[in-house]
Amino acid sequence: MATVQKEKISLDFYKFKYKEKLEEYYLPEEQQKYTSLPADALAICETDSERTPVVILYNQTPAGFFVLHGWEGVKSYSDNRNAILLRAYSVNANLQGKGIATQSIQLLPSFVKENFPDKNEIVLGVNHLNKRAQCVYQSGGFKDKGIRAMGKNGELYILHLEL
C-alpha cells in the first residue's frame, strides 16, 4: 500500500506512530458537530474491518484524518458497490488555513485508485450548513447530484467523485 504525496502534504494509512499526535488533535465545537475526532473514529475502525483510517501528513506530521469505508458505509448513500465512502474527515484546527484540506482532497483520487483498485467512485455526506467543507470537496472535483440524506445534525448533501 502506497503513500501519495503532493508538495508538503501526503496521505498515509494510519500507523501506531501517529497515535500521539492524533490524540492531541483539536477541533472547535462548531466543527465537531460535523465530524468525529480521530481518536473516536479510530476506536470504531478497530471493530469494523470495512473502515480504513488514513492520516493527512503535513511535513511528515499528522495534520488531518479521515476514514475510507466500504459497502456497509456506502449503501446508505449510493447503490454503487464499487464506491468507497469518505467519512470523519478533518484537519487539526491548529493547522487549518494552510491549504492542507484542499491538497489532501486533490490527492484522494490517486490514493484510492492505487490502494483500492476495484473502486470507481468516492462518496461522502456533508452537512448542508457546513459551507466551508462543501467548498473544499467541490474544489476537489466532488459533484452534487441532488441526493440528500438525514444525518445526526440535519440534512446531508451526498457528493460523488468518479475515479
Write down the domain spans for the chain.
Answer: 4-162
Give 24-53 pLDDT, tens digit per residue.
999 999 999 999 999 999 999 999 999 999
Q: What is the pLDDT along the chain (163 residues), one digit of tens a residue?
A: 566 665 699 999 999 999 999 999 999 999 999 999 999 999 999 999 999 999 999 999 999 999 999 999 999 999 999 999 999 999 999 999 999 999 999 999 999 999 999 999 999 999 999 999 999 999 999 999 999 999 999 999 999 999 9
Residue 56 CB neighbour total at 10 angstroms = 26
Compute the distance between CA of residue 161 and CA of residue 77 in angstroms, rounded to an integer: 13
Across the beta sheet with 51-58, what order do the strands follow?
A: 4-6, 9-13, 51-58, 61-69, 83-91, 121-127, 154-162, 143-151
pLDDT score for 11: 98
Query: Looking at residue 7, what is its pLDDT?
Result: 63
The whole-number pLDDT of residue 154 equals 95
Alpha helices in the chain (DSSP H): 19-23, 29-32, 38-45, 71-74, 100-115, 131-139
pLDDT for the residue 139: 96
User: What count of Cα atoms within 13 Å lies in the side-chain half-sphere of residue 99?
Assistant: 9
Fold of 4-162: Aminopeptidase (3.40.630)
Number of Cα atoms under 13 Å in the Cβ half of residue 76: 15
